[in-house]
Structure 1
Amino acid sequence: MIASATTSPRIDLWELAQRGGMLMIPISFVSLIVVTFGLERMIALRRRKVLPPVLFDGLDRLAGQKGGLDPRRAYALCQKYPSTASRVILDMLLRLGRPHGEVEQALRDASDREAGRLYANVRWLSLAAGIAPLLGLLGTVGGMIQAFFETANLQPGANRADYLAEGIYKALVTTFAGLTVAIPAAILAHMFEGRIQRLFRELDERVARILPHLERFEGRLRANHETRDASEFPRYPIPRDNGEARRRAAEQAARAEQAQQKK
């Protein structure tokens, strides 16, 4: 009994992979995708990269200062610590002075855009979780067809049961490999999706605490545009980072200068 136990055959995983046939190549490629994007998302979705504590600590200090939160300093702070949170807050600061509803819409748009960025590589994991078992099933079906075909064409007197068992054994290798890749991919995709949702819930809470400190600017930029009075614009400077904003500011200054010359 002891002798039979020590001489029992063992499954060699490398030999098993070789027996899987050509479809083991795309399954191996999918497994490489899972490992690559799994590690990449683990690094990218760390909390300090999405919601850097130093950014929100700085914003809290600015909000607690006498005179309230200074948009210029908040803008510089967001540029100093680039992250998902800082890009969302920058979009809010760039619309400072607009109606409250417009600012909130900008926040939603920025959040959707940043969420799309974070979800981008998670979709590859979801795709791998769906396609790996299908590749395995395809290999198994093809292997079963081959096994039954060869068994049916054996010479009379051959051991058909043993030959068929070996064919089925080889055919099931791809299904095993596909599931081995798909299960971790599905777990990782679900874990990362949950992490992204938690991070954005916290981001919403953080931004909701900043918004009341910016309400005093509502309507002031709009009033300056309506009166076309550029002299009051620097009192509440709105940070801009694009050429269109600079062009509009130059046009405003030119119109103000023309108005003064007419007087």
Structure 2
Amino acid sequence: MMLLMQIAGDTAKQVVDTANHALTQPGVAKQDLRFGELLIAGGWVMIPLGILLVLALVMFFERYFTIKKAAKDESSLMGQVKASIIAGKLDSAIALCRNSNSPLGRMLQKGLLRIGRPIKDIEGAIENIGKLEVSKLEKNIGIIGIVAGIAPMFGFIGTIAGVIKIFHDISTTDNISMGTISGGLYQKMITSAAGLIVGIIAYVCYQTLNMMVDKVILKLETDAIEFIDLLEEPGK
């Protein structure tokens, strides 16, 4: 036990002395870290992390503009459909919904085509179309959530690979110095940071899209209730 403690103490002293010597060396100039060099130092793990980041961003912007289009104000459509129903122009109301090419328009169109049937049937038809429209909006959002979950895991794999590299270099060179272990430390820390950064970006994108979808769902439900209330008014 005493022998192991002495070896550990000598090893720690050697590492500290090597670091102090490097810091106090008069001829050593301080070098700035470059982004490209950091990526290379991260090793092969940076490749899947880069792919995951690009995938998350592509999915995010594609879904963002799709959901934003679905969330546009449809108050004018609702007003025109309501006016057509009150005036008894059912065909005109259906044409307005068909030409709108929006989730609300498709929901109202399905409800208008069911006029004459019991209100429960109309509600069921609108609800089914609403679920279909929401599923279209949520398409591929789950992929971004998966990226947010597995990116830090890839960073952890890079950490393990960095530790393995440190011990491998020590075993092959039989030398414990900052120069020997620096490569593994670079890989260990860079991949951990990169995995966390990619995971955070993907998580923010995922939650942003979910909040946008929730707002669209709330708006569609409100308009659907207004439409059903209109049909239940006396004389309709």
Normalised by the length of structure 2, the TM-score is 0.78
- Give the Å deviation of 1:200: 1.2
Which residue of structure 1 lines up, in the alignment, with residue 18 of structure 2? none
Cα deviation code 1:164-219 (max 9, x no counterpart):
2431222222221111211111011101101111111111111211223334799x
* SS at structure 1 position matched to 2:131: helix
Q: Which residue is 1:123 aligned to? A: 142
Displacement of 1:69 in angstroms is 5.4
Instruction: Select which of 25, 49, 56 maps to 1:27.
Output: 49
Which is further off, 165-174 or 120-129? Answer: 165-174
Structure 1 counterpart of 2:214, from 197, 207, 211: 197
Is 1:134 equivalent to 2:153 in the alignment? yes
1:113-262 aligned within 5 A: 113-155=132-174, 158-215=175-232
Partner of 2:40: 18
Query: In structure 2, what residue type is equivalent to 1:73?
Result: S
Q: CA RMSD in A?
A: 2.5
Which segments of 5 or more consecutive residues in structure 2 lack a partner in the other structure?
1-25
Per-residue CA deviation, residues 82-109 of structure 1 (Å, 9 max, x unaligned), is 0122222222223222221222122222
User: 1:76 is matched with which residue: 95, 104, 121?
Assistant: 95
Matched, 1:50 2:48: no
Mapped contact 1:63–1:69 kept (Cα < 8 A): no
Check the 8 A contact 1:92/1:107 in 2, yes or no.
yes
Aligned length: 209
**Contact 1:51–1:83 (CA<8 Å) still a contact in 2?**
no
State the 1:59 CA deviation. Answer: 3.2
Distance 1:66 1:34, change over 3 A: closer
Rounded Cα–Cα distance in structure 1 between residues aligned with 2:216 and 2:88 = 24
Instruction: State whether structure 2 residue 78 is matched by structure 1 residue 59.
Output: yes
Report the CA distance shift for 1:69/1:118 in structure 2 as closer, same or farther (over 3 A).
Answer: farther
Q: CA deviation at 1:63?
A: 2.0
Which deviates more from structure 2 when the two are superposed, residues 8-17 or residues 208-217? 208-217
Conserved? CA contact 2:41–2:183, under 8 Å: no
2:31 equivalent in structure 1: 9
Q: Answer whether contact 1:50 1:84 (CA < 8 A) is retained.
A: yes
Aligned pair in 2 of structure 1 residues 118, 181: CA closer, same or farther (>3 Å)?
same
Instruction: State the secondary structure of the residue aligned to 2:44.
Output: coil
The answer for the alignment partner of 1:87 in structure 2 is 106
Residue 225 of structure 1 aligns with which residue? none
CA shift in 2, pair 1:102/1:26, >3 Å: same
Aligned partners of 1:66 and 1:129: how far apart in 2?
A: 47
Alignment identity in percent? 24
Asked whether the equivalents of residues 52 and 147 of structure 2 are also in contact (C-alpha less than 8 Å), the reply is yes
Q: 1:69 to 1:176 in 2, by over 3 A?
A: farther
AA of the residue aligned to 1:35: L
DSSP-derived class of the 1:45 partner = helix
CA distance in 1, matches of 2:167, 2:141: 40
> Does structure 1 conserve the Cα–Cα contact (< 8 Å) formed by 2:84 and 2:93?
no
